[in-house]
Amino acid sequence: MDPELLFRVRLAAMFGCPIWQVGELVPASELPIWRAFYNREPWGFEANDMLSSKNAYHHALTSGRVQPGVTYHDFMFTDPYESLSLTTEQYESLDEDEQLAYARRQVAAAKKATGS
């Protein structure tokens, strides 16, 4: 689903209004400000995920088993596209540009994992 539409859904849920009304309540010029605010201080599932992942990360740190380079982000839930775990069917549903971007991210992740 379109990330911009999902962001508008988040705003609509926060404002307690229908999605179409977000455009009337928030001028287009303010949307980047709202997005920046959300990226700095997320709400909803993302906020809970961030707090939970930070908690899990700190528990893992106390165990002494955290590998160098691991951050709390590694404990967060991610969608299949972001975590590079799309099924073949999901990959084939992407347009050509998205497939290329996904493949490039897979190569970069493999290089990082192997130290190449």
pLDDT digits (tens, 9 = 90+) for 22-75: 989 999 899 889 888 887 877 777 778 888 888 988 888 888 878 888 888 888
What average pLDDT does the segment 81-89 reach? Answer: 74
pTM over 0.85: no
Amino acid, single-letter form, for residue 55: N
φ and ψ at 41, to 5 degrees? -135, 80
Give the domain extent around 116.
78-116
My answer on whether 30 and 52 are in the same domain is no
Which of 19-53 are b and which e, b meaning 16 or more Cβ less than 10 Å from the residue's Cβ? eeebeeebeeeebeebeeebeeeeeeeeeeebeeb
What average pLDDT does the segment 2-18 reach? Answer: 86
Confidence class for position 1, pLDDT limits 50, 70, 90: low
My answer on whether 72 and 49 are in the same domain is yes
Total of domains in the chain: 3
